[in-house]
Structure 1
Amino acid sequence: MLQDTETIRHYQKLTDALVEMWHRGYRYDSLRLYLDGYLAALRHTNAIEAYRIHRLEEEATRYIYDRSNFEIPQTQPQSDYY
């Protein structure tokens, strides 16, 4: 579990971008490449500590491979009850 606010913000930005990419038609391989690039940029800029980047990678990888994160919620049809 991520605990510091800066890493959580990165996680939220990253997962929002992954969902958006999924809805635009990108699939797991492309999402993984995006994640790898994002993490490489964090490492290169020393934006957050290395151990936090590692935790972020673990959590984001888990997020990518959990299919329920990319499902579109099904709406139930309204009935004509009055």
Structure 2
Amino acid sequence: MLQDVRAIRYYQRITDALTENWDRGYRLDELRLYLEGYLAALRHADALEPYLIHRLEEDVVRYLHDPSNFSTADPKPKVDYY
């Protein structure tokens, strides 16, 4: 569980972007590549301590593999009574 404020903000940004890209039609392999690039940029920029980036990666991967985060709501069929 993340407790650092900056790490939480990055988590929110990443998960929002993953959900948005999923809605655009990207799939898990492409989302994983996006995540790898994002984390590499964080490491390169020294935006967070390495252990925080590792925790961030663990939490985002857990989010990525949870199917309930990417399920689409099925509209209820309209029942016509005649």
Global fold match (TM > 0.5)? yes
Residue 12 of structure 2: aligned partner: 12
Q: Compute the TM-score of the two structures, normalised by the length of structure 1.
A: 0.88
Matched to 2:14, the amino acid is L
Stretches of 4+ aligned residues off by more than 6 angstroms: none
Residue 26 of structure 1: aligned partner: 26
* 2: CA distance, partners of 1:15 / 1:40: 16
Residue 72 of structure 2: aligned partner: 72
SS in 2 for 1:44: helix
- Do residues 61 (structure 1) and 61 (structure 2) align? yes
Identity of aligned residues (%): 62
Structure 1 residue 43, shift from structure 2 partner: 0.1
Give the RMSD, CA atoms, in angstroms: 1.6
Task: Provide the aligned length of Structure 1 versus Structure 2.
Answer: 79
Gaps of 5+ in 1: none
Q: Compute the TM-score of the two structures, normalised by the length of structure 2.
A: 0.88
